[in-house]
A = this chain, B = another copy of it.
Amino acid sequence: MQLNNATPEELMSWEKSLSDEYESIKAENLNLDLTRGKPSAEQLSLSDGLDGILNGEFTSPSGIDTRNYGGLRGIPEARELGAKLLEIPADNIIAGGNSSLTLMYHCVMTAYLFGLNGAESAWKNEDKIKFLCPVPGYDRHFSVCEQFNIEMIPVDMNDHGPNMAVVEDLLKNDTSIKGMWCVPKYSNPTGIVYSDEVVDRIAALGKIASKNFRVFWDNAYAVHDLGSSPAKLANLFDACSKHDTSDSVIQFASTSKITCAGAGVAFIGASENNLAAIQKSLSFLTIGPDKINQLRHAKFFTGKDSLFLHMQKHAQIIKPRFDTVLSQLESEFSGSDLGSWQSANGGYFISFDTRPGLAKQVVSLAGEAGVKLTPAGATYPYGNDPEDRNIRIAPTVPTVEQVEKAMNVFVLCVKLASVRQAINNQ
């Protein structure tokens, strides 16, 4: 389908047949959901062996009774697991509780209220704090900024990551910019992997930004490869060492989408300066993380390739769902002027861009036809997608058949909204 060259008659004819199809689908009273970026029960079952794995042995190989209080940085064995995920030394890891979002929030809160370089460095001391937010991005990152009244500046993503020329320019000219969110591998929602050059330029930001600037590097999908040739993300930690900017980034990861989504282990990776400041701040609010669960995870991933093999099992379960989404987009929209998308090689989402001004309309049409989609705009700061184009598709929870059916509806809604818009614009 090509709308730009269509005649008014063609448009009217398409509208008629698409409307008919839409009405008949509505009559089916579907109840499908492509909103939830969470693992399916089948995926979660891969890790059922965690409970009981300790077999009565609660002392870690490093000699810690994991049942008792203490150990703000987590047990060494869990820090090793975090080191494997983030590819940085275990000495630079804090293994925490069940949520990397909590750790990110805590780091923002610490930087804001108490300062990561002593009390005088606290962001609250300044009139205005801003964050750079590559878009489309992760709504929960944006919510943290909103809660701390941090102004968000959207920066467009291209196929290699955030537009770094824009990022560098903004940082040079605005000292109130104190942070930047990044999901560097299989970015939420586009699936983009930051290129080596982008990673290197992000590492170099510490040289042009203020001392209180931090990149919040949320490597949520570090090992969440879907294809046979996993993307290789350049090592930010090493790049920062090279540029002497190690304090300018804080990295995050978790096993939420590796083992259990609510009962995993989350990690911070950072320079010793940052870790010390974060640990001090943590010491006011906890005696320590759940070390028993950390030990479970360390034991679960003991073998050399166990993590890799485990992630392959995830891929076997969810890749058919991604393939279903992509093949429908390909067969219906390839070569058309109705939308564009990125072919994700990993992560949890596929991101689709409609023609300008149609995302809300498509989400609404799909909803009325029984297919729930993430609210349009959710992938932008303040829920404001200025072109109203981006829709995040999350296919992991439904079955392949449900994804197939839901995508039928999605495709139809995109076509219907696009044709109606073209008619109105005539």
Say yes or no: is A38 at the interface (Cβ < 8 Å to chain B): yes
Given known A51-B52, A54-B51, contact A105–B284 (CB-CB < 8 A)? yes
* B52→A263 contact, CB < 8 A: no
Query: CB-CB contacts of A282-312 with B at 8 A, as 1s and 0s?
Result: 0011111111110010000000000000000
* B44→A284 contact, CB < 8 A: no
In the complex, the chain B residue whose C-beta lies closest to that of A49 is B56
Task: Select the residue from A38, A41, A65, A292 with max chain B CB neighbours within 10 A.
Answer: A292
Across-interface contacts of A176 in B (CB, < 8 A): none
Say yes or no: is A2 at the interface (Cβ < 8 Å to chain B): no
In the complex, the chain B residue whose C-beta lies closest to that of A292 is B263
Given known A38-B69, A58-B48, A97-B98, contact A263–B291 (CB-CB < 8 A)? yes
Say yes or no: is A154 at the interface (Cβ < 8 Å to chain B): no
Q: How far is the CA of A70 from the CA of B39 in the complex (A)?
A: 12
Query: CB-CB contacts of A87-124 with B at 8 A, as 1s and 0s?
Result: 00000000001110110011001000010000000000
Across-interface contacts of A53 in B (CB, < 8 A): 51
Given known A260-B292, A263-B290, contact A67–B44 (CB-CB < 8 A)? yes
* A285→B102 contact, CB < 8 A: yes
Across-interface contacts of A105 in B (CB, < 8 A): 284-286
Given known A147-B114, A147-B284, A284-B105, contact A261–B48 (CB-CB < 8 A)? no
* B67→A99 contact, CB < 8 A: no
Across-interface contacts of A290 in B (CB, < 8 A): 97-98, 262-263, 290, 293
* B291→A262 contact, CB < 8 A: yes
In the complex, the chain B residue whose C-beta lies closest to that of A40 is B68
Say yes or no: is A143 at the interface (Cβ < 8 Å to chain B): yes
Across-interface contacts of A256 in B (CB, < 8 A): 69
* B65→A41 contact, CB < 8 A: yes
Query: CB-CB contacts of A188-213 with B at 8 A, as 1s and 0s?
Result: 00000000000000000000000000
Across-interface contacts of A68 in B (CB, < 8 A): 38-39, 41, 44, 260-262
Residues of chain A in range 231-251 having any CB-CB distance to chain B below 8 Å: none
Copies per assembly: 2
Given known A262-B67, A292-B260, contact A286–B102 (CB-CB < 8 A)? yes
Interface range, A side:
35 or more
Q: How far is the CA of A98 from the CA of B97 in the complex (A)?
A: 9
Task: Name A260's contact: one of B51, B67, B260, B296 (CB within 8 Å).
Answer: B67
Say yes or no: is A66 at the interface (Cβ < 8 Å to chain B): yes
Main secondary structure of the interface of A (DSSP, over half): loop
Q: How far is the CA of A140 from the CA of B263 in the complex (A)?
A: 27
Q: How far is the CA of A90 from the CA of B224 in the complex (A)?
A: 39
Q: How far is the CA of A18 from the CA of B327 in the complex (A)?
A: 88
* B262→A98 contact, CB < 8 A: no
* A99→B38 contact, CB < 8 A: no
Say yes or no: is A144 at the interface (Cβ < 8 Å to chain B): yes
* A289→B147 contact, CB < 8 A: no
Task: Name A144's contact: one of B114, B284, B287 (CB within 8 Å).
Answer: B284
- Chain B nearest CB from A243 CB (Å) reads 31
Task: Name A101's contact: one of B47, B260, B285, B293 (CB within 8 Å).
Answer: B285
Across-interface contacts of A260 in B (CB, < 8 A): 67-68, 292
Given A147-B284, A260-B292, A262-B288, 18 other A-B contacts at CB below 8 A? A44-B67, A51-B51, A51-B53, A51-B54, A52-B55, A66-B263, A67-B263, A68-B260, A97-B97, A98-B290, A99-B285, A101-B286, A105-B285, A106-B285, A109-B109, A143-B284, A144-B284, A144-B285
10 shortest A-B CB distances, which residue pairs?
A52-B52, A105-B285, A263-B292, A44-B67, A67-B260, A69-B261, A263-B290, A98-B290, A68-B261, A147-B284
